[in-house]
C-alpha cells in the first residue's frame, strides 16, 4: 500500500512506482466531490483498489473503488466504511488487461 492525499491523485506515477495493490487517500474537499471521475480513473489506470477517506463534516462521500473503476462501497454519513479487497480479482484483472506492461519508461524519466 501507498498512502496519499487528494492532491496526489493528480500524479498517478506516484502510485505506479511501487506497483501497489491498493492505496488509501485522505481528502477533505467541501461538498459533493466534482472530481469523482478522476478518482475512478486513478483506480482503473493503476489497476489497484482505492480507498478514499473523507471527513464527515464536508458533505463528501468516503469511497472504495475497484481496480476496474467500479464503486464497491460508498458512505455519505459519519462512520466507517468496511470493505475487503478481492486480491484474486485484482490479479485476474491485471492478467486479463495488462495495460501497465505497455508503459515505455525509457520515453520519460521519473525520479
Predicted confidence at residue 21, as pLDDT, reads: 92
Predicted confidence at residue 110, as pLDDT, reads: 60
Tell me the C-alpha to C-alpha distance, in Å, between residue 6 and each of 41, 52, 101, 102: 14, 8, 26, 27
Q: Is the pTM of this model over 0.75?
A: yes
The number of folded domains in the chain is 1
Range of the domain at 68: 4-107
Predicted confidence at residue 47, as pLDDT, reads: 92
Taking only the tens place, the pLDDT of each residue in 62-84 is: 899 999 999 999 998 888 999 99
Cα angle at 51 between 44 and 84, to 5 degrees?
95
1: enclosing H helix or E strand: none
List the CATH number of the domain containing 85: 3.60.110.10
Rounded-to-integer distance, Cα 99 and Cα 45, Å: 8
Predicted confidence at residue 93, as pLDDT, reads: 95
CB-CB neighbours of 100 under 10 Å: 13
Determine the straight-line distance between the first and last CA of the chain, rounded to whole angstroms. Answer: 19
Where do runs of H (alpha helix) occur along 1-111? 13-16, 36-46, 87-96
Taking only the tens place, the pLDDT of each residue in 24-67 is: 988 877 666 667 888 888 899 889 999 999 887 888 888 999 99
Amino acid at each position: 500500500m501507498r498512502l496519499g492525499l487528494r492532491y496526489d491523485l493528480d500524479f498517478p506515477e506516484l502510485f505506479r512506482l511501487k506497483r501497489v495493490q491498493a492505496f488509501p487517500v485522505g481528502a477533505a474537499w467541501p461538498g459533493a466531490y466534482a472530481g469523482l471521475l478522476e478518482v475512478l480513473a486513478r483506480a482503473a489506470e493503476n489497476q489497484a483498489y482505492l480507498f478514499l477517506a473523507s471527513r464527515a463534516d464536508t458533505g463528501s462521500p468516503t469511497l472504495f473503488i475497484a481496480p476496474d473503476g467500479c464503486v464497491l462501497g460508498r458512505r455519505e454519513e459519519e462512520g466507517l466504511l468496511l470493505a475487503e479487497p478481492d486480491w484474486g480479482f485484482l490479479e485476474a484483472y491485471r492478467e486479463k488487461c495488462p495495460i501497465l506492461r505497455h508503459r515505455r519508461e525509457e520515453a520519460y524519466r521519473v525520479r
